[in-house]
Amino acid sequence: MKNTKELITLLDLKDSGNHNFSGNSVTIGSPHVFGGQVLAQAVNAAYKTIPQDRILHSLHAYFLEAGDLTIPINYLVKEVRNGGSFSTRRVTASQNDKTIFILAASFHKKEEGFEHQVAFDSNIKQPEKLLSWDDILEKFGDFLPKSMKYFLSIERPIEFKPVRIPNPLQPEDLPPTEQVWFRLKGEKQDLDFRTKQEILTYISDYNILNPAFNPNASNHNFGNTQTASLDHSMWFFRDFDFDDWMLYTVESPNAFGARGLSKGNIFTRDGKLIASVTQEGLLRPMKK
């Protein structure tokens, strides 16, 4: 995928009737289906059964099996509840009659209320002063590990600019935090809130486990550790636009027992909090 249009096409599922939907997959450099893609496609499936006056406010998902990139994914939506203010949906994703993923999602009608949010670090380095993944590949590609070079060479509809770039040739232990600016590639058009939420869900699975590695990065990395997303939760707060850079700030409060936990916030460039995310992932050191 090269741009936003291709990403939207990937996430928009085919309606097979009776609340069944199907979609295809595109690799991001992994031999298995990207978790963010399954998350976003499941949200798309659920939204196809939701009235227009309700918007997604939270989702909770479990990744059960690795997805096969070569065959379609089938999504079955169950209408769990349709209340006066909230609607709840359960989405089951399967391949070859095997369940690979489950999602519970809640949708809320628009209401007014009081508000607050966590503070935004206005002193953080701005994206214009940082290198993107494409820049890193161009400048340092000849010196990067083969697996990292391949991962960075995959065409994506999103541009990422990490605030801190670790040196893979001199790994060191780092604080359990990560800050990454991102923006969409290609023409954004006038996206409705539902589509923007699906895209943000897709993006939220990028970079989130990195902080769980950081305190042990001198010895452990994606090359010598088996990793997989185990679960993923997300809460949506305010409307937003993809017309500028956005910031994903993530921290990991714990890693233990071959699992790591990360939690993050997504802000607009002017500091508006639009979503929060948590994920636990498998971090299993490979035996030598």
Active site residues: 205, 229, 279
Q: Taken in order 153, 156, 160, 166, is the CA torsion positive or negative?
A: negative
Structure tokens at 137: 């590949």
Query: Facing residues of 23 across strands?
Result: 73
Closest CA to 287 of 225, 230, 228: 225
Instruction: Confirm if 103 and 39 have CB atoms less than 8 A apart.
Output: yes
**For the chain, the helix, strand and coil percentages under 3-state DSSP, each to the nearest 5:** 20, 40, 40
CA 223-229-234 angle, 5° bins: 135
The DSSP string of 180-196 is EEEEE-S------HHHH
d(CA 252, CA 209) in angstroms, rounded, equals 8
Which pairs with CB-CB distance under 8 Å and at least 24 residues apart come from 28-34? 28/151, 28/154, 28/156, 29/150, 29/151, 29/154, 31/69, 32/66, 32/67, 32/68, 32/69, 33/66, 33/67, 33/68, 33/69, 33/73, 34/205
